[in-house]
Amino acid sequence: MVVTDLSSAEMIKYAANAFLATKISFINEVANICDRVGADVTQVAKGIGLDSRIGDKFLQAGIGWGGSCFPKDVSALIHTADDYGYEAQLLKSAVEVNNRQRVIAIEKLQQELKILKGKTVGLLGLTFKPDTDDMRDAPALNLIEQLNRLGARVKAYDPIVSQSGLSHGLSGVIIETNPEMLADGCDALVLVTDWQEFLKLDYNKMAQRMLNPVMIDGRNFLDRATVEKAGFRFVGIGR
């Protein structure tokens, strides 16, 4: 137990979440550089994570953080600093990187499919993290919005959302009840949430049902060799 004054206790809570969010934004920034210089961010993260001063947690590059805690606490710390005459430039940059990272999958889809208008894109996962039904500030919502804006048809499958009826609050997306139906007629799939069950899907069957078997792994979660053996063109983040 750590005993502090009240202001320090509150600051500990905000600073902890702000640090973790910044750590994720950092590795995403590194991933974007890796994409350009030919490095693999998963190897880079493993290498720097061996340094005990850095540690290996929260170094998984992807399409950004969401949920209820990180956005709220980082924003609260930024606004508190503003209220007291200080500009929290590092935290603001972490938010800016995260906002940009959320649409990195769109850029990769455009690289693979060129024009997205009229194409069908399937999202594997909707919630901001696995093992929850929480859609608050989920990156999937940004993807759906941007894909709709670009004229794409959007489908999605999520282990909880597809079965729970929570999909009634979602617009601009067709919710499928299983991964095979999601893949049917798609020009590309985007892994949005790293659900464990997605490691065991029948990607051979899914590839056969697609018009163009492209997999954008937005969490660097899937086994590349397995997915490519099933016939997919595999695209990771910073890989």
pLDDT digits (tens, 9 = 90+) for 206-227: 999 999 999 999 999 999 999 9
- How confident is the model at residue 156, as a pLDDT? 97
Residues 116 and 230 placed together within one structural domain of the fold: yes
Please say which residue of 52, 72, 101 terminates a domain. Answer: 101
Residues 16 and 40 placed together within one structural domain of the fold: yes
Residues 63 and 76 placed together within one structural domain of the fold: yes
Residues 84 and 149 placed together within one structural domain of the fold: no
Taking the C-alpha atoms of 146, 152, 153 and 154 in order, what is their torsion angle to the nearest 10 degrees?
A: -30
- Concerning whether 69 is annotated as a catalytic residue, the answer is yes
| pLDDT single digits (tens) 119-129 | 999 999 999 99
pLDDT class of 237 with cuts at 50, 70, 90: very high
Range of the domain at 200: 104-235
- 213 and 231 Cβ atoms separated by less than 8 Å: yes
Concatenated DSSP letters of 148-162: HHTT-EEEEE-TTHH
- How confident is the model at residue 168, as a pLDDT? 57
Q: What distance lies between CA 192 and its chain's CA centroid?
A: 5
| pLDDT single digits (tens) 177-192 | 999 999 999 999 999 9
- What does the alpha-carbon distance between residue 213 and residue 65 come to, in Å, rounded to a whole number? 27
Residues 57 and 156 placed together within one structural domain of the fold: no
Residues 131 and 73 placed together within one structural domain of the fold: no
- What does the alpha-carbon distance between residue 202 and residue 239 come to, in Å, rounded to a whole number? 23
Residues 185 and 224 placed together within one structural domain of the fold: yes
- How confident is the model at residue 163, as a pLDDT? 80
- The predicted model scores a pTM of 0.92
For residue 16, tell me if it sits in a domain.
Answer: yes
Which candidate in 11, 20, 48, 69 is catalytic?
69
Please say which residue of 63, 82, 101 terminates a domain. Answer: 101
| pLDDT single digits (tens) 51-63 | 999 999 999 999 9
For residue 1, tell me if it sits in a domain.
Answer: no
- What does the alpha-carbon distance between residue 141 and residue 170 come to, in Å, rounded to a whole number? 9
- How confident is the model at residue 9, as a pLDDT? 97
- CATH code at 22? 1.10.1040.10
| pLDDT single digits (tens) 61-89 | 999 999 989 999 999 999 999 999 999 99
Residues 65 and 108 placed together within one structural domain of the fold: no
Report the domain count for the chain: 2
Please say which residue of 101, 116, 147 terminates a domain. Answer: 101
What is the average pLDDT score of the chain?
95
Residues 170 and 211 placed together within one structural domain of the fold: yes
